[in-house]
Amino acid sequence: FSPILVSPTDNEVIVPIDGIFSWNAPIEGSPDSYTLRYGIDPNMDTEVTGIVGLTHDLATDLDFETTYYWQVESVIASNAYA
């Protein structure tokens, strides 16, 4: 049930600062929504829930020369799957 991360890619060095994250739907299952977690710490302290599409545009830009971590979870019938 894991979405496939598309952009930014793993270890991508130069990314646009506009903060657009995108992913593909999981191969199995049909998620009701997605939860995006991201941050400058591997614990990813920022969470955006209830995303119904395959992209999310952050309200603020990302910082220059900063490493970000991110993941997306599928949400199906009130259960989250990473």
Residues 7-41: pLDDT tens digits?
A: 998 888 777 788 899 999 998 888 999 999 999 99
Whole-structure pTM value: 0.85
Whether the Cβ atoms of residue 82 and residue 5 lie closer than 8 Å to each other: no
pLDDT of res. 78: 59
Among residues 30, 22, 31, 29, which one has the least CA distance to residue 4?
Answer: 22
CA distance linking residue 21 with residue 63, whole number of Å: 15
